[in-house]
């Protein structure tokens, strides 16, 4: 219980017993290197790169063999089809054969990483490459000093890097994390923090110059590494159903990990209780402080997320030779350790020609990280069975080995073969491409097809234009005739109106002549009875002038008598008229 309480308290304090000085076992093991070509010649360290793939459980496990729906255990938490229990009953000699370093399926946690070689390397060291910045999703070319400026992209599905080998760390994180964090990880996380820092970027970058300043990213990883379980450890408390619990690392998809609780002493059967729930129960039971337990559980959850986030920097391609993205140089504080390491020929390197030097936590300059993994950890070449098992558990990043893809996911990696929609699209594109090829062969060349299409289009447009012209001509003729008829009709109407007006004019002239004659007659009659006075005569008023004139009756009698006298002569004259 004391050990468990110490572990839980360390989640808050973040302390580690990892010594700052070099370990006593850091010496050259003398074993032959795996990082050589087919002729056994060593590669230039600057032409080598590596990336982290993830962890897996090194035995066959049944992911569906969990506790029952009530949280209890059926037959000691194992089902009748539990693969692991059946394998325990088998003779070790009858199990599948692995490479010479096989540890007999101990169900321990194993770590996988891969090494690569750049066959196009041109001695440009770090200045020959650009690096992927996953936080900003862009390529950082700030280190490019040569014309090539190649992408350090061994993590991609399509890359010019060639696979050297996939390696298995048989003790999991224990030695591997130690070697990583104090060497290349120190400079990688310093650079990463400098890139995301705001307002103090220069200060963060200057911390690489050998002044002893460490980034918060590095300090977190340094303190966190020993908080991970090292093997399947029994827990003091039980779950809510009274089942005994064990704790170990639980591998997750895409290379992530977390702390897991299990129902068996091999840590293969997952418990329904999470470690966060266990922490709350522990603090409530022994410290009577549920609130503190919730704070510790939240801190644990945050620490796991931070670890997986920072490990993302190592899931992308990194040079085997440690580096810094900012040019910097050694000082007296680290020179003594560096000279000692160079004398021991223990992975240290010379000055990087462009000044991109990494002065790591252990005092090395430009340490060969791949060499450290090879000589300071319990490393073995991974077998095909290892890759198949890790891939079946779904916890490692995708990698292509001998034409076959293992694992899943990763930056700039897409599993086209496993996507039905993409497969359908590829089939459709191939069908279209095949149709184009057949059409090309039939017409001898694409140019003939184009000419034929253009010719057909031209003739079609020409025929359409001619037809439109004919239609337009017929319509224009009909319109002209219709307009002509309308004009003729209007001309006739106008002529009729003109004749009518002429007739009316003649009638008016006749009436005018008659009126003029009548007026003249009236005037003549008047003139007969009106005598104009002379200048010598005495003026007689008008009323007096007609005093002696006969009356109307007298005039009537006079007219009748005159008519009777004329008699037949007047009648005949009138009849003749």
The pLDDT, as a whole number, for residue 154 is 97
State yes or no: pLDDT of 66 exceeds 50.
no
* Cβ–Cβ < 8 Å for 10, 115: no
State yes or no: pLDDT of 117 exceeds 90.
yes
Mind listing the pLDDT tens digit for each residue in 275-326? 999 999 999 999 999 999 999 999 999 999 999 999 999 999 999 999 999 9
CA–centroid distance for 184 within its chain: 32
The pLDDT, as a whole number, for residue 80 is 34
State yes or no: pLDDT of 269 exceeds 50.
yes
State yes or no: pLDDT of 196 exceeds 70.
yes
The pLDDT, as a whole number, for residue 474 is 66
The pLDDT, as a whole number, for residue 183 is 97
More confident site: 122 or 104: 122
Can you tell me the mean pLDDT for 553-564?
Answer: 57
Can you tell me the mean pLDDT for 497-511?
Answer: 89
State yes or no: pLDDT of 429 exceeds 60.
yes
The pLDDT, as a whole number, for residue 445 is 61
3 state SS for 214-279: CCHHHHHHHHHHHHCCCCCEECCCCCCCCCCCEEEEEECHHHCEEEEEECCCCCCCECCCCHHHHH
Mind listing the pLDDT tens digit for each residue in 458-493? 777 777 776 665 555 666 677 888 888 888 888 889
The pLDDT, as a whole number, for residue 452 is 73
The pLDDT, as a whole number, for residue 118 is 98
C-alpha–C-alpha distance, residues 151 and 143, integer Å: 11
The pLDDT, as a whole number, for residue 365 is 95
| pLDDT-derived band at 433, boundaries 50, 70, 90 | confident
- Lowest average pLDDT, out of 165-174, 350-359, 520-529, goes to 520-529
Taken in order 76, 81, 82, 88, the sign of the CA dihedral is: positive
Share of the chain above pLDDT 90, in %: 48
Grouping H, G, I as helix, E, B as strand and the rest as coil, residue 328 is strand
The pLDDT, as a whole number, for residue 22 is 30
3 state SS for 166-177: EEEECCCHHHHH
Mean pLDDT of the chain: 78
C-alpha–C-alpha distance, residues 362 and 338, integer Å: 9
The pLDDT, as a whole number, for residue 262 is 98
Terminal Cα distance for the chain, rounded: 166
Can you tell me the mean pLDDT for 416-422?
Answer: 55
C-alpha distances in Å from residue 15, one per residue of 6, 183, 185, 280, 527: 10, 19, 18, 21, 156
State yes or no: pLDDT of 524 exceeds 70.
yes
Domain boundaries, the chain: 2-10+49-67+98-418, 420-508
The pLDDT, as a whole number, for residue 414 is 59
Q: The tokens of 286 are what?
A: 């022994």
More confident site: 483 or 199: 483
Can you tell me the mean pLDDT for 379-394?
Answer: 96
State yes or no: pLDDT of 177 exceeds 90.
yes
SS3 content of the chain, % helix, strand, coil (to 5): 50, 10, 40
- Lowest average pLDDT, out of 290-304, 338-352, 418-432, 527-541, goes to 527-541
DSSP characters over 32-78: PPSSB-TTSPBPPGGGEEEEEEEEEESS---TT----TTS--STTT-
C-alpha–C-alpha distance, residues 235 and 229, integer Å: 12
State yes or no: pLDDT of 65 exceeds 50.
no
State yes or no: pLDDT of 124 exceeds 80.
yes
C-alpha–C-alpha distance, residues 291 and 388, integer Å: 44
Q: Which residues contact 86 (CB under 8 A, 6 or more apart)?
A: none
State yes or no: pLDDT of 419 exceeds 60.
no
Mind listing the pLDDT tens digit for each residue in 4-39? 666 666 665 544 433 333 333 334 444 578 888 888
- Which strands make up the sheet holding 246-251, listed edge to edge? 233-234, 246-251, 257-262
State yes or no: pLDDT of 382 exceeds 90.
yes
Helix H or strand E segment including 349: none
More confident site: 77 or 370: 370
Mind listing the pLDDT tens digit for each residue in 434-457? 887 776 666 666 666 667 777 777
State yes or no: pLDDT of 44 exceeds 60.
yes
Grouping H, G, I as helix, E, B as strand and the rest as coil, residue 565 is helix
| pLDDT-derived band at 202, boundaries 50, 70, 90 | very low
Can you tell me the mean pLDDT for 118-142?
Answer: 96
Task: Answer whether 0.75 is exceeded by the pTM.
Answer: no
Specify the length of the chain in residues: 577
Phi/psi class of residue 199: alpha, beta or left (left: φ > 0; alpha: ψ in -120 to 50)? left
């Amino acid at each position: 219980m004391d050990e468990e309480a110490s572990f839980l308290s360390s989640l808050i304090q973040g302390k580690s017993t990892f010594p700052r000085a070099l370990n006593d076992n850091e010496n050259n093991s003398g074993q032959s290197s795996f990082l050589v070509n087919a002729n056994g010649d060593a590669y230039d360290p600057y032409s080598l790169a590596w990336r982290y793939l993830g962890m897996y459980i090194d035995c066959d496990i049944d992911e569906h063999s969990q506790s029952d729906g009530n949280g209890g255990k059926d037959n000691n938490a194992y089902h009748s089809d539990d693969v692991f229990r059946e394998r325990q009953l088998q003779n070790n000699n009858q199990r599948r054969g692995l490479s010479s370093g096989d540890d007999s399926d101990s169900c321990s946690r194993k770590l996988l990483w891969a090494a690569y070689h750049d066959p196009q390397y041109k001695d440009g060291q770090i200045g020959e490459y650009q690096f992927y910045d996953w936080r900003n999703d862009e390529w950082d070319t700030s280190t490019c000093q040569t014309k090539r400026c190649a992408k350090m992209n061994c993590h991609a599905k399509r890359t010019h890097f060639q696979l050297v080998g996939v390696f298995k760390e048989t003790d999991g994180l224990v030695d591997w994390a130690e070697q990583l964090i104090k060497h290349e990880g120190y400079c990688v996380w310093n650079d990463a923090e400098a890139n995301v820092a705001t307002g103090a970027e220069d200060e963060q970058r200057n911390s690489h110059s050998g002044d002893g300043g460490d980034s918060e990213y590095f300090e977190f990883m340094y303190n966190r590494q020993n908080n991970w379980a090292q093997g399947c450890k029994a827990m003091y408390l039980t779950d809510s159903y009274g089942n005994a619990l064990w704790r170990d690392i639980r591998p997750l998809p895409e290379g992530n990990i977390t702390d897991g609780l299990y129902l068996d002493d091999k840590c293969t059967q997952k418990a329904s209780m999470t470690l966060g729930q266990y922490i709350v129960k522990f603090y409530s039971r022994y410290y009577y402080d549920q609130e503190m337990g919730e704070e510790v559980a939240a801190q644990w959850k945050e620490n796991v997320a931070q670890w997986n986030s920072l490990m993302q920097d190592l899931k992308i391609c990194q040079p085997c030779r440690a580096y810094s993205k900012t040019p910097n140089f050694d000082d007296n504080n680290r020179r003594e350790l560096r000279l000692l390491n160079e004398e021991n020929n223990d992975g240290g390197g010379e000055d990087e020609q462009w000044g991109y030097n990494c002065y790591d936590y252990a005092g090395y300059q430009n340490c060969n990280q791949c060499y450290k993994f090879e000589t300071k950890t319990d490393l073995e070449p991974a077998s095909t069975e290892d890759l198949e098992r890790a891939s079946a558990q779904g916890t490692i990043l995708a990698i292509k080995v001998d034409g076959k893809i293992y694992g899943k996911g990763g930056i700039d990696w897409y599993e086209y073969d496993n996507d039905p929609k993409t497969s359908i699209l590829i089939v459709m594109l191939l069908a279209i491409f095949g149709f184009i090829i057949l059409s090309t062969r039939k017409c001898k060349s694409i140019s003939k097809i184009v000419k034929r299409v253009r010719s057909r289009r031209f003739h079609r447009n020409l025929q359409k234009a001619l037809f439109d012209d004919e239609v337009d001509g017929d319509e224009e003729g009909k319109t002209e005739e219709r307009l002509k008829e309308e004009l003729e009709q209007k001309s006739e109407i106008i002529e009729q109106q003109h004749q009518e007006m002429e007739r009316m004019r003649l009638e008016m002239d006749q009436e005018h002549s008659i009126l003029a004659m009548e007026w003249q007659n009236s005037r003549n009659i008047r003139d007969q009875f009106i005598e104009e006075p002379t200048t010598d005569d005495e003026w007689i008023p008008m009323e007096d002038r007609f005093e002696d004139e006969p009356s109307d009756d007298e005039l009537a009698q006079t007219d009748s008598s005159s008519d009777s006298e004329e008699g037949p002569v007047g009648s005949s004259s009138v009849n003749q008229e």
